[in-house]
Amino acid sequence: MKIDRRSFLAFVFGGAAGTALSPLPWKLTDDISIWTQNWPWTPVPPKGETTYVASTCTLCPGGCGIRVRRVEDRVVKIEGRSDHPVNRGGICPLGAAGVQLLYSPWRVRQPLKKVDGRFVPVSWDQAIGEIAGELRELREAGAPEAVAWIAETDRGTTAELIRRFLTVYGSPNFIRTPSAQDAWETALYLTQGQRATAGFDLERVSFLLSLGSGLLEGWGAPPFVFRACGALQDRNGRFVQLEPRLSKTAAKAHQWLPLQPGTEGTLAFGLIHVILKEGLERKPFVATRTAGLEDLKRNALREAFAPEAVAQATGLEAKTVVELARAFAAAERPLAVCGRGAGRVPGGLQETLAVHFLNALVGSVNVEGGVIAVPEPEYIRWPEPEMDAVASQGMQTPRVDGAGSERYPLARYLLNRLPEALLQGEKPAVRILFVSGGNPLYSLPDSERTAKAFSRIPLLVSLSPFLDETAAAAHYVLPAPTYLERWEDVPGAAGFPKPLIGLVRPVVAPRLATMPTGDVVIRLAQRLGGTLRAAFPWESHEVCLRQTLAAAWEPLRKNGFVLDESFRPQPFETASRKFEFGNAELKPLAEFRPHPAPGDPGVFKLTLVPYDSLRLTAALGTPPFLVKALESEILWKNDIRVEIHPQTARDLGLADGADARLITPRGEARVKLYLTEGIRPGLVGMARGLGRGAHDRYLAGKGASANRLLAAVEDSSGFEAGWGIRARLERA
């Protein structure tokens, strides 16, 4: 039956008016609204028993505890767990929209194989069989190192299964997706000798100095950082944001200092300069627990880091630099953080080291309210696998991304260098590439070059739940279940100062013919046989997970997470047992070199700076609720709006809302302008996360991708250090 609303009203009007005017209590009349559910043209969600399941969110490295509301077998809502140490009941917008990923009709329903440029559905058996065949052939040809695997993280059982697979197969090419942790982990290793991730005890800080970190825009574990920033305010602490634009973080800070983009490291050295010159360092800590201060002095006390020079470079005033250094050093619990935006780009190692030195000078290392080296969890203890000759030989070959090589001895993973490596030689160095996270074809800078490089790979296998940009370019898509349909261990939460393991559990049965990545690994190993089969004695990832966690399994299953409350920072593990400002490994890094935005300033008069938003995602597809919630200052109809200062607009003769072409040495995009006083003149601010080539109709084809316009910039350690590129705007 199809009746429209008007005729329906005409039909019942007399009766309705009568009831409407009577003074019935509205509780009763509200029940009438149940009628609504009988109206044929709107969906009627079936009622049923409501239950809650505790799990862990994996949509970002934040590791929040979630409480999933189910009605019968349907997931209707995701909320934060109020008893979880990371988020204490809160949840970010992405986490709250997670259900839409589960029920997205744009998910990959079964394995796909590309035949003549089009995907055709195939069975799991066929897909695994064919891929295993290719793997076998490559191995028999004696080139096992030509296999690489890009994974979201290098922790947890799934990552270990992948790494084990590659090792026994004979490839050193396990690659983790880049993040600010790359630089932080290296900095901790160099200065403290600790193989650990960086945690930030933000809840106890009294002066928070952020060098471009989007603390309220996705950096670390967002709900944890949010709460800490709020608490800092309650304690009357101070929070200073150094960033070229008035981001949400800058808007919440007590002080916004709009420095020139790319000069964060220079400023850090400038602050060190003032502190050392005025003798403001924490004497007891520096005297007893650090070594090599002379090296730092030699470097930081140079004229290049004197307040005037730093003022010149950063665009701040010299007296601001001096005052900032003094206030920071005088604070009870000062802490400096870096990792630009949401921290998805490592940033330069030198810059991170500078910030870490700054913390060490004020004694904020491995103490309450400081940077804390959080050890990598050690619950995965599998017997050493047996390796055959092919594997041993393959493992001796250098990594394809150059990490750990003579040139980049400090880096462990360099995904950013992969495109270049792929473009070299007649045949690409990688013949088979698995991608189980990170969506590199969208998330790496210089998208066009990245796409060209990846297109050289003869066999690209994507293990994504969605047909994202990387999956669309793949030869096989082996759909993974979403985080609401599988088991997974999540060791650690980004930037959280204590060791923590979270458990992801299936909230509903898998909706589609998917397979968890860990199971794909095990199945491939079984097909390949020999040492590979022997290295994987588990019949499934779930069994592997239970056995691996052993005694920890039950508490984890019961509680959903295990937190090491009693954790105390460990002593430094350098040779001197002290914090090192300048040992042999640090020496080559001493000469600080900033990374100016690439491009000819004569041709490109402006600088494009990307920014992150919690209402957009970097690699994953942004769910419809988030696209809906996106500010009209960022997306208007199908156009992305870029921020420029009114003065810059006047100089260009462009008005608010004008259509323009944004051109960089790497590409060009159609944009609309958004004029704001909240950005340095001469800059163009552009949100990351739009311009998606794939995904659903709510997201695809809207706006432009900043990554298409950006260039890869690596620092001497090999890490991606870029954050911006020279650009110009022209009237469209």
CB of 61 to other proteins, least distance (A): 15
Question: Of the candidates 54, 68, 75, 94, which one interacts with ligand SF4 according to CB under 6 A?
Answer: 94
Decide the pairing of beta strands 561-563 and 500-504: antiparallel
| Shortest spacing between CB 87 and other proteins, in angstroms | 6
Asked whether position 491 contacts ligand SF4 by CB under 6 A, the answer is no
Chain mean position to CA 540: 28
Binding mask 639-658 vs other proteins (x if CB under 8 A, - otherwise)? ------x-------------
Q: How far is the CB of 95 from ligand SF4 (least distance, A)?
A: 2
Shortest spacing between CB 39 and ligand SF4, in angstroms: 21
Region of 90-98, 464-472, 630-638, 669-677 interacting with ligand SF4 (CB under 6 A): 90-98
705: closest CA among 632, 630, 619, 624? 619
User: What is the SS3 assignment for 484-516?
Assistant: CCCCEEEECCCCCCCCEEEEECCCCCCCCCCCC
Residue from 636, 651, 658, 670 touching other proteins (CB under 8 A): that is 636
Is 542 a binder of other proteins (CB under 8 A)? no
Question: H/E element holding 546?
Answer: helix 541-549
Our finding on whether 95 is near ligand SF4 (CB under 6 A) is yes
26 binds other proteins (CB under 8 A): yes
The reply on whether position 180 binds ligand SF4 by CB under 6 A is no
Touching other proteins, residues 361-400 (CB under 8 A): none
Confirm or reject binding of residue 380 to ligand SF4 (CB under 6 A): no
- Kindly identify the residues of this chain, within the stretch 239-268, that bind other proteins according to CB under 8 A: 246, 248-249, 251-252, 256-258
How far separated are the first and last CA of the chain, in Å rounded?
50
> Which of 493, 535 has the CB closer to ligand SF4?
493
For residues 333 and 517, what is the distance between their CA atoms, to the nearest angstrom?
Answer: 43
Beta carbon nearer to other proteins, 21 or 551 = 21
Name the binder of 60 from other proteins, ligand SF4, none, CB < 5-8 A by kind: ligand SF4
Q: Which of other proteins, ligand SF4, none sits in contact with 36, Cβ below 5 to 8 A by type?
A: other proteins
C-alpha dist (Å) from residue 265 to 25, 337, 555, 597:
66, 11, 44, 14
Residues in region 86-145 near other proteins by CB under 8 A: 87-93, 95-97, 99-100, 102-105
Residue 51 binding other proteins, by CB under 8 A:
no
Q: Does 443 bind other proteins (CB under 8 A)?
A: no
- Range 542-571, binding ligand SF4 (CB under 6 A): none
Which residues are CB-contacts of 92 (< 8 A; sequence separation ≥ 6)? 60, 62, 64, 218, 222, 223, 614
**Exposure string over 630-651, b if 16+ CB within 10 A, otherwise e:** beeebbbeebbbbbbbeebbee
Binder of residue 627, out of ligand SF4, other proteins, none (CB less than 5 to 8 A by kind) = other proteins
Give the chain's radius of gyration (CA, Å): 27
Of 91, 430, 477, 484, the one binding ligand SF4 by CB under 6 A: 91
Backbone angles phi, psi at 334, to 5 degrees: -80, 150
664-703 residues near other proteins, rule: CB under 8 A = 676-681, 696-698
Query: Residue 45, interface with other proteins (CB under 8 A)?
Result: yes
**Strand, helix or coil for residue 694:** coil
**Counting every residue, how long is the chain?**
732
Segment lying near other proteins (by CB under 8 A), choices 228-236, 324-332, 527-535, 590-598:
228-236
- As measured in angstroms, the least distance from the Cβ of 7 to ligand SF4 is 30
Amino acid at 424: Q
- Supply the minimum distance, in Å, between the C-beta of residue 684 and ligand SF4: 26
Cα–Cα distance, 166 to 182 (Å, whole number): 21
- Residue 493: name the closest of 179, 230, 229, 224 by CA: 224
Contact 591, 303 (CB under 8 A): no
Strands 371-375 and 196-200: antiparallel
- Judged by CB under 8 A, the stretch of 85-93, 203-211, 396-404, 596-604 that binds other proteins is 85-93
State both tokens at 653: 């003769």
Question: 199-238 mask for ligand SF4 (x: CB under 6 A)?
Answer: ----------------------xxx---------------
Q: What is the DSSP letter of 556?
A: H
Q: Which range of residues in 136-144, 346-354, 585-593, 620-628 is near other proteins by CB under 8 A?
A: 620-628
| DSSP H or E run through 374 | strand 371-375
d(CA 321, CA 334) in angstroms, rounded, equals 16
CA distances, 372 to each of 48, 360, 490 (Å): 47, 11, 19
Closest by CA position to 684, among listed 696, 692, 693, 674: 674
Q: Which is nearer to ligand SF4, 63 or 339 (CB)?
A: 63
Rounded to the nearest whole angstrom, what is the least distance from the CB of residue 59 to other proteins in the complex?
Answer: 12
One character per residue 33-72, x = contact with ligand SF4 (rule: CB under 6 A): ------------------------x-xx-xxx--------
30 or 426: whose CB is closer to other proteins? 30
Q: Which stretch binds ligand SF4 (CB under 6 A): 88-96, 407-415, 621-629, 669-677?
A: 88-96
Work out how close the CB of 87 gets to ligand SF4 at its nearest, in angstroms, rounded to a whole number: 6
Contact status, residue 169 vs residue 193, Cβ threshold 8 Å:
no
**Residues contacting other proteins: total by CB under 8 A:** 92
Separation between Cα atoms, residue 445 and residue 722, nearest integer Å = 9
Q: Does 216 bind other proteins (CB under 8 A)?
A: yes
Helix, strand, coil shares of the chain, percent, nearest 5, are 35, 20, 45
Given other proteins, ligand SF4, none, residue 45, with its beta carbon under 5 to 8 Å by kind, binds other proteins
In the complex, which residues of this chain contact ligand SF4 (CB under 6 A)? 57, 59-60, 62-64, 87, 91-92, 94-95, 221-223
